[in-house]
Structure 1
Amino acid sequence: MSVKIRLAKFGKKHAPTYRLVASHTRTKRNGQYLEILGSYDPHAQKNNFVYDKEKLGVWQKKGATLTDAVKHLLADDYKFVEYSPQKVEKTEKKQSEETAETDTE
């Protein structure tokens, strides 16, 4: 089975931290991992990305592939974007249907 080096999410709900792990490609994001290679805290003053270069090199020599996020973190150009859901506004058609229903009652 092939191996990927990816970020596994840990920490609190609104303050996540990530571990750099080597895991099989078919496992879940937070599932079992083969080895912890480092950590990343996006909420720190300085984006703390700490990893063991030797372990990372060993896994890459074994044929492990890096995810896009890990590639950007290693290149030091990763931008952490927090998810903020957008509220969906009602369309005019739905609003007119709702007013028609209240008028008929």
Structure 2
Amino acid sequence: MESFSERLIHLRHSHNLTQKEVSDALGLVRSNYNRYERGARTPSNKTIVMFANFFKVSPMYMLGISHLMNGEEFLLDTLENIELHGDPKGFNAKYSLEEYRKEFTAQ
């Protein structure tokens, strides 16, 4: 599982940005940003969401919990797992996978 710092570095590189460009865009001190990439500083929940919004990925992806980059992919993956394996954790999903696809692809 990739760490937050590994995902942060990967996302920055995939967007062809420097540390300075990202830190300036987010209003962070560059040295603090560098600490996030080195894993020397633990991000707050607010900071994780800020990075996720900036790079247009889900916070779960930023944390290395999911390999899926955006929230819709994560929801689809969750619904597929519930359909395949049941609902052992009690998610009680509002939509079945098919209902989700019908409603949200019609928009």
TM-score range, shorter chain: under 0.3
TM-score normalised over the length of structure 2: 0.23
Which structure carries more strand by proportion?
A: 1
Which structure carries more helix by proportion?
A: 2
Structure 1 or 2, whichever has the larger Rg, is 1
